[in-house]
Chains A and B, each alone.
Chain A
Amino acid sequence: MIKQSFRQRSFAKFNYVFLTILSISMLLPFFHIIAGSFSSGNAIMQGRVSLWPVEFTFDNYRAVLFDKNIWRSFGVTVYITVMGTFLNLFFTSLMAYGLSKSNLKGRKIIIIMVLFTMIFSAPLIPSYLVVKSLGMLNTLWALMIPGLISAFNLIIMISFFQNIPQDLFDCAKIDGCGEYRTLWSIVIPLSMPSLSTIGLFYAVAHWNGYFQALLFIRDQSLFPLQVKLRQLIVESDAEQMIQTAALTVQSIEGIKMASIIFATVPILVIYPFIQKHFMKGAMLGSIKG
């Protein structure tokens, strides 16, 4: 035992050091970007900025925050996240409640139908054509309706609803509750923790996604934040900001960095609040097994 404890202690030390370095590597790119976003264009271009602002300035943020387009995109993203998540939860829980009745006729067929879409997915073009033929192109519906119910979240929610004691349903029936009333007054309140976890998954997907918008949205004024941000980083939209904010061309890198931070801050702000939820949520994933 004594011989081992030395080995164990050195392992523990190594472990702590390794994990600390790993965490720093997760944060390092952020520090670099934050430092750059507060630095002058010249300092960035000359490569003088590493982890601390050089020639401190708010100019980059001024350019980003006074840009009308980025705020409009921000609004679009907030709208599709709130509205989209609400629709997701509404329709997912409605279907999950129906399918949680284990003695319902036809239930098995419907579940198989849902599971099949998880292992054999339709190609992109036909899916695009369906959305197009429904007249959803260039509307925000195209960002919310085609992903209305995630098969995976549906399956998780079904098993949640099945964990609610059957007695409660019997009582509700005796008291004259219809199915809708039971869902609304008993099942939903009881499943609040799990609903918020699943809601969180949906919301993060809405907030972060840009593929759907790339496919379905042509109108600049309907671009969500991520698409706008992508244009700023990869294409040359940052130049426009330079002109409106009357800055020099040198500021382009700084403005890109400031807009990355601008898009990250909302996530950082809510991150501590959602953390306890997703710990639980990710373990729901083990239902797969």
Chain B
Amino acid sequence: MLEDQKKEQAAPSPEFFGSNKKVIQPVKGKKKNYFIKHWQIYSMLIPGILYFIIFKYIPLGGIVIAFQDYNVFNGVFDSPWVGFKHFKNLFEYPEFYQVLNNTILISLYQLILGFPAPIILALLLNEVRKMMFKRTIQTVLYLPHFLSWVIVGGLVISFLSPSTGLVNEVIKYFGGAPIFFVQEPEYFRGIIVSSAIWKEVGWGTIIYLAAIAGINPELYEAAEVDGAGKLRQAISITIPSILPTIMVLLLLKIGNILDLGFEQIYMLLNPLVRDTGEVFDTYIYRVGLLGGQYSYTTAIGLFKSVVGFILLVGANKLSKKITGNSVY
């Protein structure tokens, strides 16, 4: 079953990319009527197109306020133009570099530790032969994905609390002094990265398990006959077979390197850990939306989008050259 689905889904049907099978070649006379003849279909597209224009493309146009001194009373059309002033300010503020530094560091930790975790877990899960055990474990591992960051944040805060938390009880048991983890700047990044892994590692395995299920079992049989152990099989068969999946997910991760989830970090952020914990998303919310510096934070937002775009396109090109895999 898994295999079937995988095959079905893995390759979008050729029509998806508009293959020219059955393309209606309108004769000149009929051209005028084409839209009228298919008005029903086009009328179905109108709400969606309007949605994308209003909520995705108009905000893209709204980027112009990064080059203005936008204020609410004048609006986009009457606010004075200031060119690259906000971008110059941006690169002069030490605060900006701090936020950039935090964002990149947390993202890198998540990439280095969080990205391989579900791959390893999927490899281990794949070796489990007792179906009941496997199913139970999977049920438990997927559960945290469905909890909101508010709930997970609440769990983290109470789990690490100095007076009542389980972790500090263990520390106290061994004679250590309790640590107020969520208020210590040096622990913040570690807490963010590990709680993100805790929440998503199980869920992340699904896609790899599906990819593994699509591998031809004869490869393993042959390897076993040749005397290859489990580790050898994993390195020489499983990982190369799921490499395309790994690459695509890695590329998407790299494209999102400056987009750390707002909801997770904002939940645990407090003034005491701002030095190590403030990232772009929370900074834009605090300074831009709450502080009213619309133009300045839009400049940051544009910087973020452009960097993300360049990273994705660049990494994609690189990957295409080296491994032959790409997102598009």
Binds B, one of A28-36, A55-63, A64-72, A241-249: A28-36
Q: Is A168 an interface residue (CB 8 A)?
A: no
Are B263 and A210 in contact, with the CB atoms below 8 A? yes
Number of A residues whose C-beta is below 8 Å from B? 106
Are A95 and B45 in contact, with the CB atoms below 8 A? yes
Contact with A along B142-162 (1 / 0, CB 8 A): 111011111101111111010
Query: What are the residues of chain A within 8 A of B137 when measuring CB–CB?
Result: 19-20, 22-23
Distance between A130 CB and nearest chain B CB, rounded to angstroms: 5
- Cβ-neighbour of A27 out of B5, B62, B140, B300 (below 8 A): B140
Distance between A84 CB and nearest chain B CB, rounded to angstroms: 14
Which residues, 33 to 79 on B, are CB-close (under 8 Å) to A?
34-35, 38, 40-42, 44-45, 47-49, 51-52, 54-63, 65-66, 76
Which residues, 107 to 153 on A, are CB-close (under 8 Å) to B?
107-108, 110, 113-115, 117, 119-131, 134, 145-146, 148-149
Contact with B along A255-289 (1 / 0, CB 8 A): 01100100110010001000100111011111111
Are B157 and A123 in contact, with the CB atoms below 8 A? no
- Cβ-neighbour of B62 out of A104, A110, A129, A204 (below 8 A): A129
Are B140 and A23 in contact, with the CB atoms below 8 A? yes
Contact with B along A75-107 (1 / 0, CB 8 A): 000000000000000011011011101111101
Q: Is A233 an interface residue (CB 8 A)?
A: yes
Cα A120 to Cα B249 in complex, Å, equals: 17
Query: What are the residues of chain A within 8 A of B49 when measuring CB–CB?
Result: 95, 110, 113
Cα A181 to Cα B183 in complex, Å, equals: 59
Query: What are the residues of chain A within 8 A of B172 when measuring CB–CB?
Result: 47
Are B304 and A98 in contact, with the CB atoms below 8 A? no
Q: Which residue of B lies closest to A146 (CB)?
A: B55
Are A119 and B312 in contact, with the CB atoms below 8 A? yes
Query: What are the residues of chain A within 8 A of B149 when measuring CB–CB?
Result: 208, 210
Distance between B87 CB and nearest chain A CB, rounded to angstroms: 13
Are A158 and B163 in contact, with the CB atoms below 8 A? no
Q: Is A45 an interface residue (CB 8 A)?
A: yes
Are A16 and B312 in contact, with the CB atoms below 8 A? no
Q: Is B179 an interface residue (CB 8 A)?
A: no
Are B166 and A50 in contact, with the CB atoms below 8 A? yes
Q: Is B227 an interface residue (CB 8 A)?
A: yes
Q: Which residue of B lies closest to A18 (CB)?
A: B124
Q: Is A190 an interface residue (CB 8 A)?
A: no
Number of B residues whose C-beta is below 8 Å from A? 117
Are A123 and B150 in contact, with the CB atoms below 8 A? no
Distance between A224 CB and nearest chain B CB, rounded to angstroms: 10
Q: Which residue of B lies closest to A232 (CB)?
A: B154
Most B C-beta atoms less than 10 A away, residue of A1, A18, A115, A121 = A121
Q: Is B207 an interface residue (CB 8 A)?
A: yes
Are A8 and B230 in contact, with the CB atoms below 8 A? yes
Which residues, 194 to 230 on A, are CB-close (under 8 Å) to B?
204, 207-211, 214-215, 226, 229-230
Are A233 and B22 in contact, with the CB atoms below 8 A? no
Cα A255 to Cα B252 in complex, Å, equals: 40
Q: Is B262 an interface residue (CB 8 A)?
A: yes
Q: Is B297 an interface residue (CB 8 A)?
A: yes
Are B151 and A260 in contact, with the CB atoms below 8 A? yes
Cα A148 to Cα B59 in complex, Å, equals: 15
Cα A288 to Cα B247 in complex, Å, equals: 11
Majority-rule SS of A interface residues? helix
Contact with A along B67-95 (1 / 0, CB 8 A): 00000000010000000000000000000
Q: Is B139 an interface residue (CB 8 A)?
A: yes
Query: What are the residues of chain A within 8 A of B203 when measuring CB–CB?
Result: 282
Are A113 and B52 in contact, with the CB atoms below 8 A? yes
- Cβ-neighbour of A19 out of B21, B54, B128, B166 (below 8 A): B128
Query: What are the residues of chain B within 8 A of A120 when measuring CB–CB?
Result: 60, 305, 308-309
Are B59 and A95 in contact, with the CB atoms below 8 A? no
Are B301 and A124 in contact, with the CB atoms below 8 A? yes
Which residues, 276 to 328 on B, are CB-close (under 8 Å) to A?
281, 284-285, 288-289, 294, 297-298, 300-302, 304-305, 308-309, 312, 327-328
Interface residues of B (CB under 8 A from A): 2, 5-6, 8-10, 12-13, 15-16, 18-19, 21-24, 26, 34-35, 38, 40-42, 44-45, 47-49, 51-52, 54-63, 65-66, 76, 121, 124-125, 127-129, 133, 136-137, 139-144, 146-151, 153-159, 161, 163-164, 166, 168-169, 172, 198, 202-203, 206-207, 210-211, 227, 229-230, 244-245, 248-249, 252, 255, 262-263, 266-267, 270, 281, 284-285, 288-289, 294, 297-298, 300-302, 304-305, 308-309, 312, 327-328
- The 9 closest A-B CB pairs, nearest first, are A123-B301, A126-B62, A95-B48, A122-B59, A208-B148, A102-B15, A179-B40, A282-B206, A126-B59
27 contacts between A and B (CB under 8 A): A16-B133, A19-B128, A25-B198, A26-B144, A29-B155, A32-B159, A45-B164, A47-B168, A98-B45, A105-B26, A110-B45, A123-B302, A127-B55, A131-B55, A134-B54, A162-B13, A180-B40, A210-B263, A230-B153, A234-B157, A263-B150, A267-B146, A282-B206, A283-B9, A286-B210, A287-B12, A289-B248
Taking A12-B129, A119-B312, A275-B139 as known contacts, 18 extra A-B pairs with beta carbons closer than 8 A to each other, sorted by chain A number, are A11-B127, A16-B133, A32-B159, A33-B154, A102-B22, A120-B60, A122-B59, A123-B59, A124-B288, A129-B59, A130-B58, A149-B48, A211-B263, A211-B266, A229-B150, A256-B158, A271-B143, A278-B142
